[in-house]
Amino acid sequence: MKRLSTLGIAAALACMASSSMAAEPVIGLITKTETNPFFVKMKEGAQAEAKKLGAKLLSGAGKTDGDNAGQVTAMENMIAAGAKTILITPSDSKAIIPAIKKARDKGVMVIALDSPTDPVDATDALFATDNYKAGVLIGQYAKAALGGKAPVIATLDLFPGHPVGAQRHNGFLQGYGLQSFDAKNNELAKPAEVVCMADSFGDRAKGQTGMENCLQKNPNINLVYTINEPAAAGAYNALKAAGKDKDVVIVSVDGGCDGVKDVAGGKIAATSQQYPLKMAAMGVAAGVEYAKTGKKVSGYVDTGVTLIAAKPVAGVDSKDTKVGVDLCWGKK
């Protein structure tokens, strides 16, 4: 009887533990960095949704954009801590694949946010901006904003081989009407109109250095594409220091609250706004649903993109900066 009683207690404890786990799904969020405003907001969105839905959120990040090893370690630690869903913005779209496969083989649902893996079906699902479209929109705007002037272009890109960097870059050129590649090509097109290309890693300081170097190569640059708004801010600082800030059109992607302020202030001409709070909330909700029902999400979900500009131009649909502030990061 004593043995049966002990077994009964053990079974009850196991049942309670199981119920506790079911009541509080564990979800991991792994971003590229902890400092980029885009990923800061993504984490905030995930935390808010986890609190709302009664889930436990674990978070981690690489030290810098491109730190695959840091992301792999974070994933392994989260799985060891009981995470059944991992949300990740892959820093290296190919190098992360083995770690994702190991996770999925253990029954973990893996959803890419913002950035796809290569191949894209290495994850269960992708919740992201249509980054090629984001590039097309700012390319179309840039062409209209130059008003018939011959473009002399500098591009401040992410780093070689990253799908998001390639999609935005090539989409921008496509939108402008220049020689480019399609959305599936991870190489960066370089038509004759692009006189300088620099890797910014999405960083303000590297963006400024890249712009300074480009101005040394060609002081006649009149159009700058940037991978994101921190890089755009760096480009603007370099142009202002050179006395060229009034002569150059800068376009970018993110539509973050500070970035929209830079559009309103004339530092950036236009930006394609994306919604990391929405991506994160959708990812957490999917993780909770998986914990409750065992049903995984699949495929690509477009989380939307809107062109934000201070000055409208003919033939290009855009929203003003008031709308941009209201929507920045996807807060409404």
Q: Extract the tokens encoding 72.
A: 């792999």
Looking from the CA of 230 toward its CB, the CA atoms found within 13 Å total 15
pLDDT of residue 64: 86
Do 125 and 139 fall within a single domain? no
Q: What is the DSSP letter of 125?
A: E
pLDDT of residue 69: 97
Do 165 and 96 fall within a single domain? no
Task: Report the C-alpha gap between 43 and 83 in whole angstroms.
Answer: 16
* Residue 302 within a domain: no
Do 11 and 76 fall within a single domain? yes
pLDDT of residue 332: 53
DSSP string, 134-203: HHHHHHHHHHHHHTTPPP-EEEEES-TT-HHHHHHHHHHHHHHTSS---TT--SPP--TTEEEEEE-TT-
Do 286 and 316 fall within a single domain? no
* Residue 206 within a domain: yes
> Cα 92 to chain center, whole Å?
13
pLDDT of residue 20: 42
Other beta carbons less than 10 A from residue 112's beta carbon: 26
Q: What is the pLDDT along the chain (332 residues), one digit of tens a residue?
A: 334 343 343 444 444 444 444 569 999 999 999 999 999 999 999 999 999 999 999 999 998 888 999 999 999 999 999 999 999 999 999 999 999 999 999 999 999 999 999 999 999 999 999 999 999 999 999 999 999 999 999 999 999 989 999 999 999 999 999 999 999 999 999 999 999 999 999 999 999 999 999 999 999 999 999 999 999 999 999 999 999 999 999 999 999 999 999 999 999 999 999 999 999 999 999 999 999 999 999 999 999 999 999 999 999 999 999 999 999 999 75
CATH code of 40's domain: 3.40.50.2300
Q: Are strands 223-226 and 125-128 parallel, antiparallel or unpaired?
A: unpaired
pLDDT of residue 164: 94
pLDDT of residue 3: 40
Residues 156, 226 contacting (CB under 8 angstroms):
yes
Could you tell me the sign of the dihedral formed by the alpha carbons of 117, 100, 85, 60, in that order? negative
Number of domains observed in the structure of the chain: 2
Do 208 and 78 fall within a single domain? no
Q: First CA to last CA across the chain, in angstroms?
A: 61
Which value, in Å, is the radius of gyration of the alpha carbons in the chain?
22
Do 101 and 185 fall within a single domain? no
Q: Give φ, ψ of 240 to 5 degrees.
A: -65, -40
Cis amide prior to 191 (ω within 30 degrees): no
* DSSP-assigned beta bridge partners for residue 250: 224
Task: Report the C-alpha gap between 330 and 179 in whole angstroms.
Answer: 33
Could you tell me the sign of the dihedral formed by the alpha carbons of 262, 265, 269, 273, in that order? positive
Q: Structural domain of residue 7, as residue ranges?
A: 2-129+276-297
pLDDT of residue 12: 42
